[in-house]
A = this chain, B = another copy of it.
């Protein structure tokens, strides 16, 4: 019981990195929604590994076959299943993988959880490759939300110690978010790109990897989404965002920084603006008591460094219970943050579509 998420609109993700196919069933989509396949393909290309030097050289021609739920390009209301074949896998030294758990990976925990029957090739179901169907599902939800005036976007908030400019939480605009969504290396300050890429290249040259933070915003969200306690917007979003591998933290609005403030600094004053109630600051990230207040929804997620590095690492041999040393070969991103970004936007899109459905706003 692991890979199904959602209440009104459910996603059911399947597949293993080196298995026959991966994919997703989306159950509960509204009927009559036209899907723009080119836009979906573009969103998936943002996540896909490419010729880009910051990413793994594995080529994925990942556009899925849509098996159901779509007729003449329009959703039927029945479950939409999208299947992506795994056609660029390489033979792997299965036995060695199964014996030597890679530090930072789920090899060891998967081994325990599934009594050694887990598919360890490429991480199996734990692989970052499973974010491809997630990104597909998110791209579908994103279009449905856009039709209702909700725009979701994000940027690379940081890679290692190099930081982009944060969103202006009050004034972030749909235009800005759409522009970011059209970029393969989304930054608020594009001047940083060269610096960031050089940093990643340097890390790569060290046979190392680096983490980072992504920041997501959603605008056009009506006030009144979410519920108190366990169906708050934070609960719902975090329960899906942690489904993206390597996420180790999430914060909304000022997040951890709010812990150092005084109430007089942190509280967002209400004011009228053109017959609409707004807040003058947006430290709460658009959420009060678990419910949206109509201001931009803002959150950040922390991504750990790619655990696959070419340096020698200490591990144990599960076969004989002895300490040993492991060297990982293969294709690995020195920094997955740019590719994690669209996956986390996708997670947010799926979450927000569910929150909309929950208050009958679809």
* B-chain residues with CB within 8 Å of residue A265 when the two chains form the complex: 305
Check if A323 is an interface residue, CB within 8 A of chain B.
yes
Contacts of A116 in B (CB 8 A): 32
Q: A1-B358, A109-B224 are in contact. Are A262 and B305 (CB under 8 A)?
A: yes
Judge if A321 is at the interface, Cβ distance under 8 Å: yes
Listed stretches A42-50, A54-62, A140-148, A311-319; interface member: A311-319
Contacting residues, chain B, for A208 (C-beta < 8 A):
262-264
Question: CB-CB < 8 A to A259: which residues of B?
Answer: 158, 160, 211-213, 302-304
Asked if A135 is at the interface (CB within 8 A of a chain B CB), the reply is no
Interface residues of A in 209-248 (CB under 8 A from B): 209-213, 223-224, 226-232, 234-236, 238-240, 242-243, 245, 247-248
Q: For A121, give the chain B residue with the smallest CB separation.
A: B71
A113-B10 contact given A67-B15, A238-B242, A255-B302, CB 8 Å threshold: no
- In this assembly, does A115 line the interface, its C-beta being within 8 Å of a C-beta of chain B? yes
User: CB of A292 within 8 A of chain B?
Assistant: yes
Residues of B within 8 Å of A228, CB to CB, are 2-3, 78, 106, 110, 125-126
Contact A359 B113 (CB under 8 A): yes
Give A residues with C-beta under 8 Å from B: 1-5, 7-10, 12-16, 19-23, 25, 27-28, 31-32, 65-69, 71, 74-81, 83, 101, 103-106, 108-110, 112-119, 124-126, 130, 158, 160-161, 203, 206, 208-213, 223-224, 226-232, 234-236, 238-240, 242-243, 245, 247-256, 258-272, 275, 277, 279-280, 284-285, 287-294, 302-309, 311, 313-316, 318, 321-323, 358-360, 362
